[in-house]
A = this chain, B = another copy of it.
């Protein structure tokens, strides 16, 4: 059996090594256009910032090491230029010698990845305007910075790569501005949760220009002007484009393979394309979303590696299936950790799901053990069924743990109400006897039993302030004085029973406190005394963080318009 693989990074390298482990006699040839195989894609931004010092750490495997261990021919600087499924051959060009040749295959694996999206605007080709995707891109940026010591950078795009770059360029002491059209960074998060990311990024001196459309680049004054629609240009010593990636599937298209979203390759559960004996995996393929069951494009290293392994199994006589991607991901944003799994509220609503959420702010470990820090959890579940749809967490230590616990819960089909039953490992340095995930489960359990009715952030401005409802803040007088929502009256929870007379009967009561806990107790006291009461999920802490961020975005936008 002869297997040809197009692309030797995550899925391609994994498939190649596993095919060898399953079949000592297969002939395996990998064509990789770049000069590197099996490289640490996700580590590239950290090399630019100097966190990863040795470039060899990024490229642990070489064609030589791969051959000596696996007897796999890794042909770097070789570009596959065409596929002929009829004769089962690919056309290959040696990019170093210019030589062109054909290679036959019994099985073909396409793992070409995705390429950096390049906007079709003037100035994209300027010397100081970089894109960031490959090892070569990274070395180019690193070298430019070493040589010219730029003092400022504009990053176009604030997704994973953009944010990791922002952090690493700040590490180098550079002034950094992130500009993009969407009004929030990190689209896997809902806009309320993204506010915590915005606040952290600003706290570390990164300027955010959200809601701005980049129209082009112009070389000026030994730097670049970034031209914005309806606003004055930004100026920086260099620009890096990180506006996302698109599946690199021109080969598949030319060969007549069925394509899906954004030209991605359509595959079945066995990772087979529409053409027999051709498989595909990684950032180039369309997957089923594990939660919604709909077609999706999810570029993540974990799924790519799993898909490569599955293809190897199937090529070697097995029958392995890819179950779909659920979008579990995590990012370090300066001191913050932000993580997500499943779908967010925005996408759930777009998918037509009837959703509810709980938002909570637990400590990562026992409050009495030193070093505990608050995280913010947003859980998205389906009304009626309580099916767990997704979770987002921002915070510090322990965020990655809780997102993984929730990722497994989603994978296993647990309901949000069942999170209360999880028995997680507890000792004071690691967690609380009631783990944050349990706490989320308790809240959903209370909702499911009619013991907790909630109001949410987007309702805050809409609450009746005409006297037809009671707006109640149950924090202490000191906390209330430091900041509160207009129209709210203050009765601390511990005085509530004595002061019930101050709360008008027969009117709904909307309650808030700092984190949501005292207001929940107040809601229970009120309901126990015949009131209809609603708890604000997330507390004033959450409200304040989101509102401050939105205000800054509005102000920045207004300034831009003036300029």
Instruction: Mark A residues whose CB is within 8 Å of B.
Output: 10, 20-25, 40, 42-43, 46, 51-52, 57-58, 60, 68-71, 160, 290, 300-306, 309, 318, 323, 325-332, 337, 339-341, 366-370, 400-401, 403-405, 407-409, 411-414, 420-431, 433-435, 438, 442, 449, 451, 493-494, 497, 520-521, 524-525, 527-529
Contacts and interface: CB of A to CB of B under 8 A. Distances in A.
Given A302-B426, A331-B427, A412-B412, 13 more contacts: A42-B427, A70-B521, A160-B427, A302-B438, A305-B434, A328-B424, A329-B425, A340-B425, A341-B425, A404-B404, A407-B425, A408-B422, A411-B422
B43 A332 contact: no
Contacts of A42: 366, 426-428, 433
Contacts of A431: 330, 400
28 contacts: A21-B521, A24-B525, A40-B368, A42-B428, A43-B366, A43-B428, A46-B369, A46-B428, A51-B369, A52-B368, A52-B370, A58-B368, A71-B497, A302-B435, A302-B438, A305-B434, A318-B449, A325-B423, A326-B423, A327-B423, A329-B427, A330-B427, A339-B425, A405-B405, A407-B423, A408-B409, A408-B422, A411-B423
A344 B23 CA distance: 35
Q: Which of A303, A337, A422 has the most CB of B within 10 A?
A: A422
A7 to B, nearest CB: 15
A265 B451 CA distance: 31
Contacts of A433: 10, 42, 301-302, 304-305
Contacts of A420: 306, 309
Main secondary structure of the interface of A (DSSP, over half): mixed
A539 to B, nearest CB: 17
B366 A40 contact: yes
Contacts of A331: 427
Nearest to A342: B423
Contacts of A434: 302, 305
A72 to B, nearest CB: 12
Contacts of A401: 400-401, 404
A367 B60 contact: yes
Nearest first, the 9 closest Cβ-Cβ pairs linking A and B are A24-B528, A412-B412, A330-B425, A301-B433, A401-B401, A57-B368, A21-B524, A408-B408, A328-B425
Contact of A69 (B337, B403, B521): B521
A426 B370 contact: no
A24 B422 CA distance: 29
Contacts of A413: 412
A334 B408 CA distance: 30
Contacts of A303: 423
Contacts of A341: 423, 425
A494 B404 contact: no
Contacts of A58: 368
A431 B399 CA distance: 13
A406 to B, nearest CB: 9
Contacts of A411: 421-423
Contacts of A403: 425
A433 B528 CA distance: 50
A211 B326 CA distance: 50
A448 to B, nearest CB: 11
Contact of A529 (B24, B329, B369): B24
Nearest to A57: B368
Contacts of A422: 407-408, 411
A318 B41 CA distance: 52
A400 B318 CA distance: 34
Contacts of A323: 421
A46 B22 CA distance: 51
A318 B423 CA distance: 22
